[in-house]
Structure 1
Amino acid sequence: MVAEKETLSLNKCPDKLPKRTKLLAQQPLPGHQPHALVSEGFTVKAMMKNSVVRGPPAAGAFKERPTKPTAFRKFYERGDFPIALEHDSKGNKIAWKVEIEKLDYHHYLPLFFDGLCEMTFPYEFFARQGIHDMLEHGGNKILPVIPQLIIPIKNALNLRNRQVICVTLKVLQHLVVSADMVGEALVPYYRQILPILNIFKNMNVMERAT
């Protein structure tokens, strides 16, 4: 009987409900919570309450750049190079129509270096193989041409294409050992060559660590 009387008294007097029940009833529904406002950084909206600042866009340091028509392709299509494609059991190679030692290195070597930007056959093959052939037989003709090679090297690296960068690095390795004092002659141009390499220097660090 005592329990029944307490129940009846609670029903008649809603103010006597437990405090916990009242608190739950007063809480707002989740759907009515204010939405976050997405805004740009350093703006008036960014200082508002419930504002979320959008992050900066990607810088695109590793993004490949589009290739431009090269002087090497233009000269090749006009037939200005004394070269032809030759096939043998080992694959493709260049058949030079003149002795390499007699070539004008001030004219031809910068043009072949300009072809380092090429990525389609046969232009990329002729440019890269032609460079190695000329470095192999250049001797003392190579050193005076170094200043003319810097811009083509820089243009090739600036493409940010992994394959082109690797090929250009192999060419630089061959260039340094091709003649005396070539390495020293490249030192003043490090500021033009090294920045792009600095971007990619840590690309494979984690892969080697694992």
Structure 2
Amino acid sequence: MDSGRVFRQNLRRPMPTAPKRILRRVVPAFTIQTLQENITVQPLPRPDASLKRSPKLATKFRRFYTCGDFPIATVFDTRGIKVAWKVEIEELNYHNHLPKFFEGLCETVHPYKFLAQQGIHDMLQNGGPKILPVIPQLIVPIKNALNTRNPEIVCATLKVIQSLVMSADMVGKALVPYYRQILPIFNVFKNINVNLGDGIDYTQMNHENVGDLVQETLEILERYGGEDAFINIKNMVPTYESCILN
């Protein structure tokens, strides 16, 4: 019996010539730890240009609203929440207020998101000739909102760009020199369309399909941007085809 037990125990023992199992540590790439022995370098993440980038927790718009810099308030009626202006919109200083509202394009939290977007809509609808001189001040907030790569923010910003272009004369042409700053992100989302097969794409019903909005916005920029619009769009978005020439 003892000899049988010893024989079975010996079977469980590793062979004398078997190599010892070495536990390898996983270390991040491009660190000094990669020079050590018995390590495995952690693979780098795959690049994704459409990856979300979190906006700042407190935008300038939120700070301005908290400090009471905006002559607006929220009111409720039978139709829901809406913006109430404490002064006539035509009397507002657009150089002061419109860029601040555009800073709120990065907002995704209620009620700041609603106030920013509704405030922009009201000011663009009633601004007329006051809008054109403010265009240079709006480029940085638009660029910052697009650079978040958040589809919710990008869709809202594209709709605002469309309204801005059609809000007053010469605004479309005034935006042409700034294509180099605002159009690069269009390449990221231009071909992103949801394909659900036989399912229902509710983003199309709600006009929130980012790929379709990019195409619509480019077409509006071309139509209202004058004769130099298409060549400048083509330089920044090579896959775009003219809606006028074709």
2:129 paired with 1:114:
no
Q: 2:55 aligns with which of 41, 60, 67?
A: 67
Aligned sequence identity (%):
64
Aligned residue number for residue 126 of structure 1: 115
TM-score by length of structure 2 reads 0.61
Q: How does 1:178-189 map onto structure 2 within 5 Å? A: 178-189=167-178
Aligned residue number for residue 163 of structure 1: 152
| 1:207 positional shift | 5.6
In the TM superposition, what whole-angstrom CA distance separates every residue of 1:51-94 from its partner, at most 9, and x where no partner exists?
xxx97631131111111121111110011111000112222111
For structure 1, the 5+ residue unaligned runs are 1-53
In the TM superposition, what whole-angstrom CA distance separates every residue of 1:149-172 from its partner, at most 9, and x where no partner exists?
000000000010101111101101
Q: Which has a greater percent of helix? A: 1
Larger radius of gyration: 1
In the TM superposition, what whole-angstrom CA distance separates every residue of 1:25-46 from its partner, at most 9, and x where no partner exists?
xxxxxxxxxxxxxxxxxxxxxx
| 1:205 positional shift | 6.9
Distance in 1 between the 2:168 and 2:91 partners?
17
CA RMSD, 1 decimal: 2.8
SS at match of 1:93: strand
Matched residue type, 2:53: R
C-alpha change, 1:205 and 1:188, in structure 2 (3 Å) is: farther
In the TM superposition, what whole-angstrom CA distance separates every residue of 1:86-109 from its partner, at most 9, and x where no partner exists?
112222111000000000000000
TM-score by length of structure 1 reads 0.71
Matched residue type, 1:133: D
